[in-house]
Amino acid sequence: MALVEGTFLNIEPIDLEYAGIKKGSLEGEVAVVTGGASNIGLGYSRAIAWAGGKVVVTDINEDAGKETERVINAENNSDSALFVKCDVSKEDDVKNLAQKAFAKFGKVDLLLNNAMNMRLNGPVLSSPVSDLDQSFAISARGVMMLVKEFVPEMVKRGHGVVTYSATQFHYCPPLVGGTMYTAGKAAATSIIMSLANEVKDTGVYCFCLTPAGVGRFDPSKMPPRPEGAPKIDPKMFAMPGFHAGIPPEAGGAAMVYCLLNAEKLHGSGIIINDAFDAMDYPYPNRENLRDMKSRRLTDMELTLVLCNMGAGFTGFE
């Protein structure tokens, strides 16, 4: 598929057949993607449409949102995407989003909670409390409002998927995501995992995908290290299996794979590398692959994991 010309969006051509995704595999499905006009959210939106689904793209950036709608419709057909400007922290905006989504497509089958403000990334000691309020407003409160607008109808029909772009639950150098960012993300992840138990056996499936390392960056163009600091090979910053960051289009392929396997993922979380391994993704740089496999926790382990101190309290010496 040729790249749509004349767009300011930072995209590459998208065709998921190389990753084993069949054209039309999401035919008949309607998705809402929050934060769907940039980076991984844009990858999700384009990938779902490529796989045959309809996409309601929502974002606070109106220019990028309208352009995302145009690009997706140009890549597929004129009725594949609808953009609705929405601040997910505002109840009126969320209700307006739901009204327009149902009016356009009559239903919503897939709810992809992805919106977040990366600038809410400061430490506890130097951040204003308002930063934490905003982090929770977008991630936790926003996710809950979206769930309440879309999931009851999914339960009635016995069909649907709810997912969230998760991250680490606490700030841990050198991972990306400071305290305010991860606090909101952790709260939203907890909501999704609890929701999984609430909708068990209804035909609605819930999981989290952690799209770590998705983004277009060139390791060779990273800013210089401070004078006297040890030199680091820029290749070390490349994501496993890739020459640099994970392209958003690849992230979209991983999400489509997970949506198609949502029943197996219900009540669980998956890191994007594990999704790539499961789908036998054709990595462009297998030389830098390393074993990053995680394991699925039991429900009780998931419930108690945050009660542990650090990596897990083992007793006093």
Digit-coded pLDDT (tens) for 152-163 = 999 999 999 999
Q: What is the pLDDT of residues 240-260, one digit of tens each?
A: 999 999 999 999 999 999 999
Mean pLDDT on 11-38: 97
Task: Please report where in the chains the tokens 């640099």 appear, as a residue.
Answer: 244
Give the model's pLDDT for residue 121. Answer: 87
- Residue 290: pLDDT above 90? no
Q: Residue 268's pLDDT is what?
A: 93
Residue 34 has pLDDT above 90, yes or no: yes
Provide mean pLDDT across the span 7-34: 96
Does 43 score more than 60 pLDDT? yes
**pLDDT above 70 coverage of the chain, percent:** 89
Section 43-58 average pLDDT? 98
Band of pLDDT at residue 229, cut at 50, 70 and 90: low
Q: Would the CA dihedral through 101, 117, 128, 193 be positive or negative?
A: positive
Helix (H, G, I), strand (E, B) or coil at 46: helix
Predicted TM-score (pTM) of this structure: 0.92
Q: DSSP letters of 63-106? A: HHHHHHHHHHHHHS-TTSEEEEE--TT-HHHHHHHHHHHHHHHS
> Residue 272 corresponds to which tokens in the numbers above?
């994007």
Q: Tell me what percent of the residues of the chain surpass a pLDDT of 90.
A: 74
pLDDT score of 201? 97
Q: Which residues contact 219 (CB under 8 A, 6 or more apart)?
A: 234, 235, 236, 237, 238, 244
Q: What is the pLDDT of residues 183-225, one digit of tens each?
A: 999 999 999 999 999 999 999 999 999 998 999 876 666 556 5
Phi, psi (5° rounding) for residue 277?
A: -65, -40
| CA-to-CA dists, residue 135 to 35, 44, 68, angstroms | 14, 22, 25
From the CA atom positions of the chain, what is the Rg in Å? Answer: 19
Average pLDDT of the chain is: 90
What pLDDT was estimated at residue 69? 98
Taken in order of first residue, the domains within the chain and their CATH numbers are 23-307 (3.40.50.720)
Region of poorest pLDDT, from 102-111, 281-290, 304-313: 304-313
- Cα of 169 vs its chain's centroid, Å: 15
Q: For the packed helices 62-75 and 39-50, what is the interaxial angle rounded to 10 degrees? A: 30
pLDDT at 227: 66
**Amino acid identity, residue 151?**
V
* Least trusted range by pLDDT, from 244-248, 256-260, 270-274, 286-290: 286-290
1's tokens: 């598929």
